[in-house]
């Protein structure tokens, strides 16, 4: 049963500018593995932006928005060996997943030069 859906779209430059400021935004929003991945890519702004969009879409899918939590680095965007994206939850978000029976989380990512978007579906 689907418990929630969320979608988000964001300008790549908007996220890239925040990352470039080196003011703690990157570490607050992204996990060390996400930072390592994005920094290794030639178009790192696109990769940061699409991950940010996925985190926002996830918050919308929970039905709680920012009330679900502010530690976005605990919502980690991962890829399997074939490149299929997924979400791995940590800390408070992991506990909420158990409490709320978020048994399956689907995520789809897309980005262009200027825009990034993500869709998240949470199933029971």
Residue 61 C-alpha from the chain's centroid: 12
Check if 70 is active-site: no
Check if 104 is active-site: no
Point out the catalytic residue in the list 55, 90, 111, 113: 111
**8 annotated to a ligand binding site:** yes
97 within 8 A of 111, measured Cβ to Cβ: no
To the nearest 5 percent, what fractions of the chain are helix, strand and coil? Answer: 45, 30, 25
**In this structure, what is the dihedral angle of CA atoms 102, 93, 33, 26, given to the nearest 10 degrees?**
130
Question: E strands, the chain, where?
Answer: 2-11, 75-79, 85-89, 104-111, 115-123
Point out the catalytic residue in the list 28, 60, 70, 113: 60
**95 annotated to a ligand binding site:** no
Residues forming the annotated binding site?
8, 56
| Catalytic residue annotation | 60, 111
Residues forming the annotated binding site for Mg(2+)?
8, 56
């Amino acid at each position: 049963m689907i418990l929630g859906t969320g979608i988000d779209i964001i300008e790549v430059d908007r996220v890239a500018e925040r990352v470039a400021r080196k003011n703690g935004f990157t570490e607050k929003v992204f996990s060390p593995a996400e930072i390592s991945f994005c920094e290794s890519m030639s178009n790192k702004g696109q990769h940061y932006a699409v991950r940010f969009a996925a985190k926002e879409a996830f918050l919308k899918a929970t039905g709680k928005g920012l009330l679900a939590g502010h530690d976005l680095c605990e919502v980690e965007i991962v890829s399997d060996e074939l490149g299929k994206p997924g979400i791995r939850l940590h800390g408070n978000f992991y506990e909420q997943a158990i409490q709320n029976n978020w048994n399956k989380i689907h995520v789809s990512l897309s980005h262009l030069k200027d825009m990034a978007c993500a869709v998240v579906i949470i199933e029971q």
